[in-house]
Structure 1
């Protein structure tokens, strides 16, 4: 049974980076996750600045618990794709310099890899003018090609293969933030990217908000999970959900936290709050609540 390593994210605290580090140091955590786009931009952090930042965090009895490359678009979205991939590649180079391995990136929805039968009729390429005017002599314009889900899946795999190969070379582990936890589809993606390694950032709040059972998902995927985002959520009357403060939702932490330990999960459990007006206070309370349920490490290793 593993002793869980708890962390928090600096972006959940108000103020600049140094202020956030000092606030996080007052919590019983040993890890601190940084944002590679808004806090630790490679263009602004040279070798000296990186060493100073790492030293400052270690002075406060913590370690860097991974980097998060945030983005508005999913990984394979064509919009600004190369710019996004360049940013991820650059962030990879900071990971090892900061003494950590995980790099969280937004994968988004995983397309269905199953080939679909094209049932479109031959009239699908006709424009409204062709239908209204039977005497039109203009040749119908071919419809713009829309990638099928299977093609989108293939593209995603190609992107991940390239990124995972570079990650392996620089000593980084990619942690995918997915939009929903469809176990079979995630397993297909992991196999398709092999032999390069990708891992999944497990998020029980996302599980709840998309209709999946967090405990069941973790048990089925634990071999592929390399990071835990300890967020909470409540189901609403429409069957959807909303993120709430950690420990105040319907995630069964009394079952889930021991399940993490029983699986010998050795990476970070990052207690997070991505919404709300009192994120720092709610994260602090969440750390206290979740640590009560976790195995206690030997004296001297706990904070």
Structure 2
């Protein structure tokens, strides 16, 4: 692989206020940062002047906004609170555009059990509504699904026609669900919008534990090679949601990725 990887890190990883988190990210050797729109921003910070100030701060540190994320507390299709959830996502799409990012990541919960039925139809309808909004402001949607059926996922994606909806490829989640990340990339190579860099192991009991990148079940050399063959030119977002030293683990993961990619 001869093209440098575009590596980003979530600012939430530092557990600091946004300005301090951006400054910390700048010391990690990354090209971009990912913002958590639900937990890191106030209305004032998303005003025109607030966005300009943030843009200047990023420029001073030679950083870009790789993507934004909007964690959901409930599955996208959960009926309770659905209207409020969609309203919040519409707002997140607008905020992503204001922050000069073209990518919003969010989980959708478990996939429907089949490519037919009311649950499947509702998911497709909601994603089309969100994609339409994203297309209007120039934002693509990277969804993080749960479930083992790539056939159902393919069906859902094929029925969204109003804008770009693709995958936030979480290698750890895929590997821990007994799937092969490389096979997922091979099938959805034109739908991978972002790679979430995590690793995990599955215990004999069936439980899954997140571990530092390179110590789990993800075959990173193979995955990077397949992504390269697919001409993936998007962001690799190095994340850590468990462990006592998330920043240190993220720093080591960045070095590990470079070593695997360039030997």
TM-score range with shorter-chain normalisation?
over 0.9
With normalisation by structure 1, the TM-score equals 0.82
Q: In structure 2, do the counterparts of structure 1 residues 222 and 89 end up closer, same or farther at CA, with 3 Å as the change threshold?
A: same
Q: In structure 2, do the counterparts of structure 1 residues 114 and 6 end up closer, same or farther at CA, with 3 Å as the change threshold?
A: closer
The 3-state SS of whatever aligns with 1:66 is strand
Query: 1:87 deviation in Å?
Result: 1.1
User: In structure 2, what is the equivalent of residue 34 of structure 1?
Assistant: 35
Measured in 1, the distance between the counterparts of 2:83 and 2:59 equals 34
User: In structure 2, what is the equivalent of residue 83 of structure 1?
Assistant: 84
**Contact 1:180/1:206, CA 8 A, preserved across alignment:** no
User: In structure 2, what is the equivalent of residue 59 of structure 1?
Assistant: 60
1:241 to 199, 208, 229: 208
The 3-state SS of whatever aligns with 1:55 is helix
Measured in 1, the distance between the counterparts of 2:229 and 2:4 equals 9
State the structure with more CA Rg: 1
Higher RCO (C-alpha 8 Å, min separation 6): 1
Query: 1:91 deviation in Å?
Result: 1.2
Q: In structure 2, do the counterparts of structure 1 residues 195 and 80 end up closer, same or farther at CA, with 3 Å as the change threshold?
A: closer
Q: Would you say 1:220 and 2:187 are equivalent positions? A: yes
Question: How many corresponding residue pairs?
Answer: 262
Q: Cα deviations across residues 137-158 of structure 1 (Å, max 9, x unaligned)?
A: xxxxxxxxxxxxx211111111
The 3-state SS of whatever aligns with 1:223 is coil
Q: Would you say 1:281 and 2:245 are equivalent positions? A: no
Measured in 2, the distance between the counterparts of 1:86 and 1:27 equals 35
Q: Would you say 1:258 and 2:225 are equivalent positions? A: yes
1:189 to 145, 152, 156: 156
Q: Cα deviations across residues 36-56 of structure 1 (Å, max 9, x unaligned)?
A: 101124465210001111211
Alignment of 1:89-128 (within 5 A): 89-115=90-116
**Contact 1:42/1:91, CA 8 A, preserved across alignment:** no
Measured in 2, the distance between the counterparts of 1:23 and 1:286 equals 16
Q: Would you say 1:45 and 2:46 are equivalent positions? A: yes
Query: 1:197 deviation in Å?
Result: 2.3
Structure 2 unmatched runs, 5+: none
